[in-house]
A and B are shown apart, each in its own frame.
Chain A
Amino acid sequence: MGDGDADTPHPLPNSRGSPPPHAPPALHHARGGGWVRGCGRSLPRWPRPLLRSRWNFPLAGAARAPAGHAPPRARAPPGPAHTPPPPPPPRGGAKMAAAMAARLCLKGAESLLRPRALPCVVVPVRGRRKWPRVPEWARELSAEEKEWRLRSAAPIFPDERMERTFFLACTAEIMDPYVPPEGDARLTSLSKDGVKQQMQKLRQTAASQLALRKIKDHDPDFSTKTFPEKAQEIFIEAHNSLANFNKQKLHSLVTERCYPDMVRGNRYKTIRWRFVESLEPPRVVHVRCEGILNRGNLYGQVTVRMHSRQILAIYDRFGRLMYGGEEIPKDVLEYVVFERYLVNPYGTWRMHGKIIPEWAPPKDPIIKTVMIPGPAPDPSQEHETGK
């Protein structure tokens, strides 16, 4: 720090504890800390040089200046009031000026801190360093002030892990599935029973009526008369986009629960599907509306009965027919469930699943033969010799 100062280095005030006012300046501290390098003048490493700390500005009344170099004056009433001498004009470079300024600051600080007439002697006890470090003069502060300082001194840990939000756009299953009556579509509308079946209107089920009312609350345009046509259109569009492998469109027409059921195993296959005609007008048979997780989280499910003629042909990776046929139309009776997330204003009706009744006829077998391995033969059993 330039030319030598006559004074020996004094222990500087620090925020850890009250510095010994009358402690003799020690060149080598008992703690064995080294010297702070950099300054030409030797400064002990401990106690630390004055650091900027939020505890080191003047107390209530005075402005909260962030400068740490000016310790609180009220703590140690200065003796004869004297102002630090004005800093001489900088002679050397910026380094010299900084060194001079630092030295003067130190001098000013120590003069302020060294109370000339203090009756008691405070012996510092180097105890275990505690956090947060509350200096002695801060114990007189009000509770609010203390709390404010403690809170601002504490580091902010992010408590909540920001998890990725997920959005339940569909339910996982068909709620209260519709049980189709036995012998549906076997009876023509000419017989008495057939007419009775057709006359079974939706109105007869109370739960369906309640659900329908709830759906109409959220979607005033919904009607059991117009919905089946729309549903059939969605059905046809979904199957067409499955045949064309248009994933984006398929996702908008089919819920996330139905998508894997439709798409599984079809990646390397060619599917040809065609809707020939509708044998009977589709109609709504079942309506349910329930919330999952929360009470107000409503999902509406509508079951539509469709009796139609379709053509399906699945070809494997090599272009060989696996199932069905291009020229073989099949009559299909299906109960398709459509779902909509009612609370979402941008929700749409999408295909959710199918209900397969127990009395449904078995599907056609696939064209190839499959070997089902029998039970492993026991070596203790005698094997029959062929004749």
Chain B
Amino acid sequence: MAARWALGAGAAWARGLLSWARPERWLASGSLFPLSCIHTSTSLQKIGKWEKKNRIVYPPQLPGEPRRPAEIYHCRREIKYSKDKMWYLAKLIKGMSIDQALAQLEFSDKKGAKVIKEVLLEAQEMAVRKHNVEFKSNLHIAESQTGRGRYVKRLRCHGKGMFGMMRISRCHYFVKLVEGPPPPPEPPKTGFDQAKEYVQQLRNRTLVHTL
């Protein structure tokens, strides 16, 4: 029906129609224009799952409940770096407080360190402005992961007319900041703990299918 309208009224008008800003559906006392209800803006790229995690709203807490710590999800897509190389940095800062992480990244020689630092600063800013976090240092990194971005194959020319196909790799970086001090690290397992576990296993043995 829209196509028929466009043909009838001229191509220029139709083009103008499509380049309009998105009409607000809520103009209840709106015009009599019959095409006022179409959504003419182009939809954005698919919003990733990590970005959507910032949209969940929890119900108000009752007065007796412990205060729920704020969680802020942030990511950066299509970083020109290898995901395996980025993983080392992500593993480095996992579990640190945000100040410590920023300090470590500032003095790291890797290329991805600069990118991750920018991401952390953005996330910190977002947390204070939008997510009602009171102290910007009171955040720690709960999750820090890398993901594979879109790879592109290109030709790499060698001598004597030979060539190889090379991959241009990109990665994504995901981070989750949680309000509060960082959790204490797990103590390493001593021999005594292992012995205790062994003894417990022995004690758990029972006889089955017996009287």
Contact = CB atoms under 8 A, between A and B. Distances in A.
Interface of A: 158, 161-167, 169, 247-248, 251-252, 268-270, 272, 313, 315-322, 341, 344, 346-347, 368-369, 371
Nearest to A272: B60
Given A268-B57, A319-B60, A321-B61, 7 more contacts: A164-B23, A167-B29, A270-B60, A317-B57, A317-B58, A344-B29, A369-B134
B43 interface: no
Nearest to B27: A167
Interface of B: 9-10, 12-13, 16-17, 20, 23, 26-33, 36, 55-61, 67-71, 131-132, 134, 136
A251 B134 contact: no
A167 B61 contact: no
Contacts of A320: 61, 67-68, 70, 132
Nearest to B33: A165
Contacts of B27: 167, 169
A260 to B, nearest CB: 11
Nearest to B62: A319
Given A166-B31, A268-B55, A319-B61, A161 B131 contact: no
Nearest to B133: A368
Contacts of B60: 270, 272, 313, 315, 319, 321
A383 to B, nearest CB: 21
A321 to B, nearest CB: 8
A248 B33 CA distance: 20
Contacts of B23: 164
Contact of B132 (A165, A247, A322, A346): A322
Nearest to B36: A164
A322 B60 CA distance: 10
B40 to A, nearest CB: 10
Given A158-B12, A247-B26, A319 B59 contact: yes
B87 to A, nearest CB: 30
Contacts of A268: 55, 57
B28 A252 contact: yes
Q: Which 8 A-B pairs have the closest CB atoms?
A: A316-B132, A319-B61, A165-B31, A315-B60, A319-B58, A368-B134, A158-B10, A318-B68
A319 B68 contact: yes
Contacts of A371: 136
A161 B36 contact: no
A158 B134 contact: no
A316 B12 CA distance: 48
